[in-house]
Structure 1
Amino acid sequence: MTATGPARLDDINPADPAFWMRPAREREEAFAVLHAAGRPRHFPEPDLEAFGLGAGPGYYALVRHADIAEASRTPRVFSSERGIAGLVDPPEEFAEFFGSMIVMDDPRHARLRRIVSRAFTPRMIAGLNAGIQRAAVEIVEAFRPKGGGDFVDEVAAPLPMRVICDMMGIPPEKRARVLELSNIVIGAGDPEYTPGADTMEQAFLATYEASKELAALVTDLAAERAERPTDDLTSVLVHANVEGEKLTHREVAAFFILLVVAGNETTRNATAHGLKLFTRHPEQRAALLEDFEGRIAGAVEEILRYASPVTYMRRTLTRDHTLSGTPMKEGDKVLMFYGAANRDETVFKDPHVFDIARDPNPHLAFGAAGPHFCLGAHLARREMTVMFRELFTRLPGIRSTAPPERLFSSFVNGIKHLECAF
């Protein structure tokens, strides 16, 4: 990609973190080029010499809505078990802490999801409303006297982390450390979160140590809840028995790591992107405030579509397969770029326009329909709804005041810091 934007396919590599540090307009132009190609394209893996690794054999980029939908509903071909984040296969020791259902195929995936899904039904999420409401009010009211500051640190990050820790029964005094550790896990490679990690091995080590500490915290809690259960989610998971299936303490810990990484990052980044979007599009903000209750559901979906907080998920082919006329081989890697699919002009009219009234809006921000569709989608939507209601009620003039500081990542469309005022 050139300084003025992409000119041809050879200039584009959407798996390169440097690509995601380019202006949004240039990234959109790049994906428009890939859409126009009409089929999955093969790209070389980014050269990671700076991290102590060379380039791998390459990957296919899926950018069309239909291609990602097909791959997502065909897990027997497009497997999750070789990893879902990054082109480098994770070290074997990572399985101890990252061996959650998101990196499993059936039947193991189905077993775990059948157990934990009981805590994430719409009815269960509705039961969390009072706690989410109380947390949002307290966070906004604590921010009010400051008149502004870092929206991510003060508002967007605390809500989902507090909700998750409340759900799991994590003691309040440990929550700041849980947030710090989750930043290390998701921000491996970003100098702010993993300072001194000059090689991939060092970045992996920082992630491993953070995950190990998170797992130890929840393993101890699970052992305690096994003897003295309460009404928190850890107790539910430890004692859940679905058709004779139970979770081990290690599986509970792996699920918690998935929650604090996936559940926290999606909501916090979508909320930060939402404030940025409403600042840049005051007419959309005005439309929302004219009928908040009638329009907030559509606004949340459009923020998710437009921001696409999770950039991609990886799959690895288990057999030879042809997708949209492109022959792929067993062992080939594919990256499903959700943000690109959410700009697919064959699905979305005027896809580059932020429109909270968009209907229908079949975005893929939570993944496409299939066994790995995001289990926490209902919870994320509820948290965003409650937080924007409290923000626009209690701080009606809130707006971002500087460009966002982005996370150095190709996996998460993250905002680390966003200055705001009100």
Structure 2
Amino acid sequence: MAIRPASAVHDDIDLSDLNFWGRPLTERAAAFARLRAEEGPRFYPDPPVPFAKPGPGYWALVRHADVLEASRNPKIFSSEPNATTVIDGPAWLDKYVNSMINMDDPRHAKIRRIVSRAFSPKMLAKTEDDVQARAVRIVDELIASGPGDFVAKVAVRLPVEIICDMLGIPEDLYPRMLRLTNIVLGNSDPEYTGITPDMGRVRTGLGLAKVAWASRELHRLAARLGRERVKNPTDDLTSALVNANLDGEKLTAREFGTFFLLLVVAGNETTRTAIAHGLQLFTDHPEQKDLLLEDFDGRIGGAVEEIVRVSTPVICFRRNLTQDHEMNGHTYRAGDKVMLFYNSANRDESVFDDPDAFDITRSPNPHVGFGGPGPHFCLGANLARREISVMFKELFTRLPDLRADGEPDRLMSSFINGYKRLPCTFTRP
């Protein structure tokens, strides 16, 4: 029988304390190594939420095998009612953010079928060409403007421009899309919300309100675009989604709105994080950059997988036990919550040799940086791989001495392992 400890914090590793996630990345990695070495999973209390009763807490799954088993068994480890946050948000927020990530089959399967059909070969071919063209333009403008913030000048631009173009969002709205997605995923960072730690417990409630506002704005934009595409269909993804009819199944307005939000948020933040971390990793490990440049086309695939493994842009997701289940010598009870820590699974010593090393030739590399195997594996994984590959080829071919220059300014978040700013330097050709 699983017995919850009287105190969840045995030492300084409190995964429910936002301050833990502000610690240096090496310290965080060492903390998770200690958790993996323990006999069983730790139980943590939910973070406090204003005007709400304390939640039941959660088990932290930190081993690769446990994350894989939970991912492969959605009937036991359910994504409902929530898979994205430790706590359950209020009902008024669900209508904006309750996307397919927070669903099990058959609801999840229905939306995924319709969405997958919308990603036609013609659309994907156009996107691949667009990635190349935009990468060239971004590097042109980087050279023209000179060294500066790599995140703003490069990492953030490619993914947000690609996903906005796919959806048919007008170019003059790109900056607004970026601001709104920063709020949705950076809701615990004072820079994006104006909410500071000295506000205490109230900051969580204010953070939810900010997320609700940004999400509502994205839904309004989706609804407006959707209505336009129903009247006048085009060849963009929005048109394909709102006009899709698969054996009589169509997306409702709410389903389209939540998927639209998912696309612009996930399609922007995670790839941007991987590209920014990639430059930092190649700067810290110049021998790996040299290795890549010796045979770029032959090694870029492995390099992308290793960047995603080491950086793990999405730190964790949640699952909810539908029945009692024993895993790795521990019994979980129906109703328990577990958090799948992908960042820890990606450094599991039992799976990866020298897991803290950055090795672009690592093989095999069974990382879970795009989520674990199962129905919720990242729908945009191949697009992300393409964007990262093309961006670094364009950068390192034209600016071979490009490197990070100084400490990155990290996002304060327990969900996204992001960089807000990263100074870079290079010699102009």
Shared fold (TM-score, shorter chain, > 0.5): yes
Q: Does 1:249 align with 2:253?
A: yes
Counterpart position of 1:411: 415
Once the 2 structures are TM-superposed, how far is the Cα of residue 120 of structure 1 from its aligned partner? 4.4
Which deviations, in whole Å up to 9, do the C-alpha atoms of 1:254-305 show, x marking residues without a partner?
1111011112111000000000000000000000011111100000000000
Once the 2 structures are TM-superposed, how far is the Cα of residue 123 of structure 1 from its aligned partner? 7.6
Q: For 2:217, what is the secondary structure of its paired residue?
A: helix
Structure 1: runs of 5 or more not aligned: 1-7
Q: Where do residues 9-24 of structure 1 align in structure 2 (5 Å cutoff)?
A: 9-24=10-25
The partner residue of 1:421 within 391, 412, 425 is 425
Counterpart position of 2:266: 262
Counterpart position of 1:224: 228
Structure 1 residues 300 and 291: CA distance shift in structure 2, 3 A: same
Counterpart position of 1:71: 70
Q: For 2:193, what is the secondary structure of its paired residue?
A: coil
Counterpart position of 1:374: 378
Which deviations, in whole Å up to 9, do the C-alpha atoms of 1:216-275 show, x marking residues without a partner?
001111011001000000111111111211112322221111011112111000000000
Q: For 2:60, what is the secondary structure of its paired residue?
A: strand
Once the 2 structures are TM-superposed, how far is the Cα of residue 196 of structure 1 from its aligned partner? 3.7
Letter of the 2:258 partner, please give it: A
Counterpart position of 2:293: 289
Q: For 1:128, what is the secondary structure of its paired residue?
A: helix
Counterpart position of 2:166: 167
Q: Where do residues 172-191 of structure 1 align in structure 2 (5 Å cutoff)?
A: 172-191=171-190
Looking at structure 2, the residues matched to 314 and 352 of structure 1 have their Cα atoms a distance apart, in angstroms, of: 25
Counterpart position of 1:148: 147
Task: Name the stretch that deviates more: 245-254 or 103-112.
Answer: 245-254
Q: Where do residues 339-354 of structure 1 align in structure 2 (5 Å cutoff)?
A: 339-354=343-358
Contact 1:156/1:269 (<8 A) preserved = yes
Q: For 2:251, what is the secondary structure of its paired residue?
A: coil
Contact 2:118/2:237 (<8 A) preserved = yes
Letter of the 2:189 partner, please give it: D
Which deviations, in whole Å up to 9, do the C-alpha atoms of 1:149-192 show, x marking residues without a partner?
11111110111010000000001111110111000100112110
Looking at structure 2, the residues matched to 151 and 351 of structure 1 have their Cα atoms a distance apart, in angstroms, of: 27
Give me the identity figure in percent. Answer: 56
Structure 1 residues 190 and 54: CA distance shift in structure 2, 3 A: farther
RMSD: 1.7
Once the 2 structures are TM-superposed, how far is the Cα of residue 43 of structure 1 from its aligned partner? 2.1
Once the 2 structures are TM-superposed, how far is the Cα of residue 329 of structure 1 from its aligned partner? 1.9
Task: Name the stretch that deviates more: 81-90 or 8-17.
Answer: 8-17
Contact 1:80/1:103 (<8 A) preserved = yes
Once the 2 structures are TM-superposed, how far is the Cα of residue 54 of structure 1 from its aligned partner? 7.6
- Report the count of equivalent residues: 413
Structure 1 residues 52 and 23: CA distance shift in structure 2, 3 A: farther
Letter of the 1:171 partner, please give it: P
Looking at structure 1, the residues matched to 88 and 373 of structure 2 have their Cα atoms a distance apart, in angstroms, of: 25
Task: Name the stretch that deviates more: 78-87 or 350-359.
Answer: 78-87
Once the 2 structures are TM-superposed, how far is the Cα of residue 330 of structure 1 from its aligned partner? 2.0
Structure 1 residues 40 and 121: CA distance shift in structure 2, 3 A: farther
Q: For 2:161, what is the secondary structure of its paired residue?
A: helix
Counterpart position of 2:31: 30
Counterpart position of 2:369: 365
Once the 2 structures are TM-superposed, how far is the Cα of residue 130 of structure 1 from its aligned partner? 0.9
Contact 1:122/1:378 (<8 A) preserved = no
Contact 2:119/2:237 (<8 A) preserved = no
The partner residue of 1:298 within 295, 302, 308 is 302
Structure 2: runs of 5 or more not aligned: 1-8
Letter of the 1:88 partner, please give it: I
The partner residue of 1:316 within 311, 315, 320 is 320
Looking at structure 2, the residues matched to 18 and 52 of structure 1 have their Cα atoms a distance apart, in angstroms, of: 22
Which deviations, in whole Å up to 9, do the C-alpha atoms of 1:304-326 show, x marking residues without a partner?
00000000001121222222121
Letter of the 1:44 partner, please give it: P
Looking at structure 2, the residues matched to 131 and 100 of structure 1 have their Cα atoms a distance apart, in angstroms, of: 27
Looking at structure 2, the residues matched to 37 and 101 of structure 1 have their Cα atoms a distance apart, in angstroms, of: 34
TM-score by length of 2: 0.92
Q: Does 1:131 align with 2:135?
A: no
